Amino acid sequence: MCGIVGYLGARNAVSVLIDGLKRLEYRGYDSAGVAFLNEGALKVHKKVGRIAALEESLQALAPQTRIGIGHTRWATHGRPSDRNAHPHFDCTGKFAVVHNGIIENYGELREQLGARGHRFASETDTEVLAHLVEEAYEGDLCAALRAALEHVRGSYAVALLSEYHPERLVAARKDSPLVVGLGRGEYFLASDIPALLPYARQVYLLSEGEMAELTLDGARVLDRQGEPVAKEIFNVDWDAEAAERGGFPHFMLKEICEQPRALRATLGSRVTPEGDDAVLKEISLTLDELREFTKVTVVACGTAYHAGLIGKYVLEKLARIPVEVDLASEFRYRNPLLDAMTLVVVISQSGETADTIAALREARARGCRVLAVTNVVGSTVAREADQVVYTWAGPEIAVASTKAYTTQLLVMYLLGLLFAKARGTRTAAEIAEVTAALRKIPAQVEMILEQKECLRELAEKYCHCENVFFIGRGLDYAVALEGALKLKEISYIHAEACAAGELKHGTLALIVEGVPVIALATQDELLEKLLSNVKEVKAREGTVLGVCLGKKEEVARTVDHVINLPAAPSFVAPILAVVPLQLLAYYMAAARGCDIDKPRNLAKSVTVE
């Protein structure tokens, strides 16, 4: 995800900015840029690719400057390029902004600004901010930013530099982190603490809606109304490596905890302002074209394949269209039955998985249209597919996929709603109901994350077992598969998922006294059947952990431990139910002392067959 740094003080600002950006490299980025004041004039340098390229381009110039802002971009709106890299300017070139987050209504704003004569130099959502500041500016930089942000819907951490104010930086945040570093006679801005570690150990952590104003006289924090806020100083005592993980012991835990934010970003502009419908504007196929497809084939690997399995249930239920789900490594060699009326959906976090790319090419060679669901802008999958829907999970660094998976699920629901509309299989009221349930998910995931400690205790109790079984019916079965994969890949405990109804066709032979079985019990229509399977396990003295929506007496009575999720419709339960499974896997692996972020024999991006 993008990174922001800002500096004002006696050092060479460009060196501080470049160093700060390098310290944020671990977050992933595709381009970088800085803006600074050089002899009173606002200058910008930005480059696609590595920070080293930006650094090189600045070396010839060797600017001596005391104030500047910098950014590493992880493309969202517009492909990675020099032009789309931040900072962005207004029409006059007097204001430069860097921004993390997504401006959901940027399309409307861009149109309105265009009609008022503004000209845009990039494809980004961010650039509208610079033009809005230009319009709002009446001599007070802070007031101009505040006024500009009043027009904006979405999430942001933003920093603003202007030629009119050679000793002032202003910044603001909403749903995207931003901190102010307090040095001696020098002040810093950063989206993440690691950027500041060599310079400042005392910081203000900006809260939602707050703004910061940095001058050589000090740093002030202001509320939404522009009133000063008495801010507590936070003392940073992390080492550099821990700080990259934002204080979390592992990237995996950090990424699990980032899910509310990732889900909000993925849903973001895809819900109508009224909140009663979902839209996927990036899909250029019309409803008529979508209606013509007779089949959907989803192709992916590993966790992304599990997202595809949920997608099958969702699309078939909402849109009544047949859906096949294939492992990419199987699909490419089995001569699949495809025709021009089949939409092939490939799901890939990295967009670089060799088997998935090969499957995509195979599908295109056979005349299918391919829609990609991916997390990485400009990845091979994104470039080669006909249509792309991005998950805005931000860079996923831990090998075990967590936030990419839940955002993939969200996209599959949105796709289901789109197909339902095209095929007329759901009423507007039904679509509004599903949309409303999806909108609640990020806050509900937050509630599940609050149970972290209980899950850790549970995990520590079972961390020495040799086998764990996951059972479920319907959507819960697909979640069970993901739960088992998560556990085995990071803890090295043998974990197996079984459709609950299949237990007695073989797997039950392995259930003996004390064997832990995790029973997903979120599907209300199938609950009775599932509980019968749980009783089969109990009769063999297995130990059952049940996961259910809200408080369910019949589940609590039947299992040994119960994990309660917030109450929600069963149909959207997978996005919630997987979260405690991720945490259980994480804490079991942690208790066993495993190398969680880099499990043995595994790689984050599988670019070989």
Q: What does the binding site for ligand F6R look like in residue numbers (CB under 6 A)? A: 301-304, 348-350, 353, 356, 400-401, 485, 489, 605-606
Least distance between ligand F6R and beta carbon 304 (Å): 4
| Maximum distance among all Cα pairs of the chain, rounded to whole angstroms | 81
Pick 401 or 564: Cβ nearer ligand F6R? 401
The residues, any chain, with a CB within 8 Å of residue 237's CB and separated by 6 or more, are 201
* Closer Cβ to ligand F6R, 162 or 350, answer by number: 350
Smallest separation, CB 343 to ligand F6R (Å): 19
> Among 2, 257, 301, 368, which one carries the catalytic annotation?
2
Q: How far is the CB of 312 from ligand F6R (least distance, A)?
A: 17
Q: How far is the CB of 209 from ligand F6R (least distance, A)?
A: 35
Examine the residue annotation and report whether 604 is marked as an active-site residue of this protein. Answer: yes
Count of Cβ atoms closer than 10 Å to residue 560 Cβ? 13
Q: Which is nearer to ligand F6R, 302 or 574 (CB)?
A: 302
* Closest distance of CB 562 from ligand F6R, Å: 26
Give the sign of the dihedral formed by CA 313, CA 314, CA 320, CA 321.
negative
Cβ pair 177, 2 in contact under 8 A:
no
d(CA 369, CA 338): 10
Provide CB contacts within 8 A for 254, sequence distance 6+: 245, 246, 248, 398
Q: Which residue is nearest to ligand F6R (CB)?
A: 302
Q: How far is the CB of 250 from ligand F6R (least distance, A)?
A: 14
CB of 263 to ligand F6R, least distance (A): 17
From CA 72, how far away is CA 85, in angstroms rounded?
Answer: 8
* Closer Cβ to ligand F6R, 375 or 533, answer by number: 375
Task: Specify the residue, 353 or 444, whose C-beta has the smaller distance to ligand F6R.
Answer: 353
Q: 126 phi and psi, to 5 degrees?
A: -60, -35
41-48 and 31-38 strand pairing: antiparallel
From the list 295, 461, 538, 604, the catalytic residue is: 604
Please report, for residues 99, 336, 459, 544, 549, the alpha-carbon distance to residue 555 in angstroms, rounded to integers and kept in the order given.
47, 42, 20, 10, 10
| Nearer Cβ to ligand F6R (142/373) | 373
Instruction: Give least dist CB 486 to ligand F6R, A.
Output: 6
CB 375 within 8 A of CB 352: no
State how far Cα 551 lies from the chain centre: 29
Q: Which residues pair with 44 in a beta bridge?
A: 35
Pairwise CA distance, residues 465 & 494, whole Å: 9
- End-to-end CA, the chain: 28
* Nearest residue to 351 (alpha-carbon basis) of 376, 371, 330, 370: 376
Residue closer to ligand F6R by CB (options 51, 382) is 382
Report the C-alpha gap between 214 and 220 in whole angstroms: 6
Please, which residue, 271 or 347, has the CB nearer to ligand F6R?
347
Q: Hey, how many other C-beta atoms are within 10 angstroms of the C-beta on 234?
A: 14
The tokens for 457 are 């205790």
Cα(230)–Cα(423) distance, integer angstroms: 55
* Torsions phi, psi for 176 (to 5 deg): -150, 130
Contact 356, 300 (CB under 8 A): yes
Active site residues: 2, 604
